[in-house]
Structure 1
């Protein structure tokens, strides 16, 4: 039987919300212990047990500003899990509203990872600053854009109109993030209430339209084209366009949209490498995407600036199924500028055997 005050048992009682049993244990032990850096307050806040939270603070004088190994305080825990009653209790007891955990996350940032408007409102009304940024350069509005709740975004813009004027350390905006994660309603709010440049680029040259396309969110891509006048032929830092990025991620429906609906040349080349979408799909081993591109009229014999065909990239990536499909579709092996055949790029015996059998 566990001795009174055993830390694992105490934490289990808190987790299960068993206040009376906890009271008896603590009275017998006469001391509160930590477990792996957490205090019982962290556990109570994390699991939403306000009664236990109040008991530990008021009867045992536990410190509401105690930090665990990640520098999380009980307010971080309550906010991140959306436990409004615990959040309000801690705030009313004077908890620091903008305290920082590891990576410089505030309780408001943690709350914005949950779609709980009331908790966010409570924190803001107690002075939380929506403009603070974490170590990656994300403020609370940016984090909320990833989750995509339009009501939360509307609220943050109302209490802090400049919250949208933010970029991460790699220059990604909330519009990039919402587009990437498929948050259509959030994108609508951002386009209505914010003033992002149509083709704002991050450090890699990616635009919100590219993000939407490469993640398969065609509805958002259409909205960005119609409402935001995005450019579908914009290039990233390597000269690749949205079509190329869709080929990299294997987004076949997005490719059909770009080629069939928008009229993009299926064989358009990346500016710096002269790679086509077919090359990119082969490099990643996306056989179905290669099928899609060929059905849309892609040139199977297209070569890049080093005279490599899609077969070279398929074999270099050790993608046997992809290489076999290209060969069966009529692509012949040929030398690149160094005189290297595609089959010479394979490192796996079974891949080479597959080539010989084909």
Structure 2
């Protein structure tokens, strides 16, 4: 005998035997009903208890109508079953998806007076409306159930003027009471009323009083406070009822420092976010408002359903398609959280390093000296703390979004200044977003760093494809031009339709490609690099020195470049397998390209260097990051740039130039400067100097 047949036969002994033998207490039967729903609907109290003891889920809703076991018990009127379900946490006010009925409404419609009394005693709310905007009292009146209607009307009122005004949607009275000092976050006391433990904002959001919501928020009402039996936020309440304009009012930008609604708060009972609630009842406009405000699309309920999966479950096809597209373009949190096993593996590999014989020279002419490399790796293995670096990165809102078929990871530091200019900064190789850890706060909050707050920026720091946590391309074609187009889309998704850009190394190439895209998206660009190609003509001593610096670089420092241009995959095997090899490959560049005066560790600490090296190691991006050389080095040339340009040159960079060359390339050059110190990693080495260069460039470019 099957479990369903035993339930229908009221054979509790067989049900018990089947459950002990492993029968699934959750498995759907006729019409998608679970065993618990069937037993509840038939009033089988003993069997209901057996199923609950076996772990049957009281929250599950059947797919046809969206009813739960409590709905079925309310329809049958069995108070013993209702009591047991409530004792096991069943949601007394859960609404069915198709009708919007609560168990109380079902009990009213089926004229189950005892069930109505028990549900009311259990806290059932009488003010909830179904999809036809009917309350339980409306249903009782329509069916001429006078006794039940009397039970529903018997609700005491409490003198709370602001609450009463909010319930009535009386905007003028709400404003008067607030002006007179009414407490905007007062709560309805718990006396058995459906509005128990609601705040005025929760009531206004639930009942769709948009203007009242705006007034309460302006008066300081906290949109994070939970309401009622379900512990719902005002956003939950508005979404559940389909009040899209209320959702927009709750999510509109408020004063700096004001509490902000938590769009992604999940209900304790079911794990629903506000977006789940909107989807559950098919409220497409409210769902769109939440998605547009940044609600997460990847959170699952206690049953594991994302909003899209919930829409699919209830066959809201248009809404499911919209959410699928939103998922494709969504911005999702993506913190740095490498498993401890990866760090343990790193230390074990470092301990097993097979070292080459020491170099026969006493300098860096053959590469990183053996003693320096051993000391660095010993420190890496025994003393370095990656988790400290991870915490700093995770303080900068690490996120990911899919653009042009690739997951692009980025950090985002919003300025506290209301008129801040959006700025995208792009790193190069062997750099990463870590280069900008010092300069980003200076640019985002100049007031806190002794600079003009008018020079504030919302700073966006994407990782190049194949670098950091950005996805490694599976195909070719990701050169600076394509990356620049992806950055335009990234900024658009962040709400920055117009922005400025900055970069060096490959970041220079991407930034210049952005300059080539130009207006209306890209307003101006700044570079801390000016590549020369050996075709420039020198007219003075400065330009001759610049050409000689390029020749010296090609003769003595470009071995890595040729390898990564020709065989990025080959070098990737070595660097991905050996942390000592990966470290040496990058550590050498710190010595060659930074302005350190003899020892790179006097400029950048070991921890700073190892932060960047460790990021390359943990992400396994030695080969994928090198491929940008194979993709673009022999073919990329700077495009024509018509927007304003700033160029800042640091003396120890791999290229030097002159103002004349910069003016020839950039007819709209608004800033040019040669700095007294600094090298290739300008943001890392001299963040203060570079920050002022960036401010000066965009001050001139945007305020002319």
**Would you say same fold, with TM above 0.5?**
no
**What TM-score results when the alignment is normalised by the length of structure 1?**
0.41
For the pair shown, the structure with the greater C-alpha radius of gyration is 2
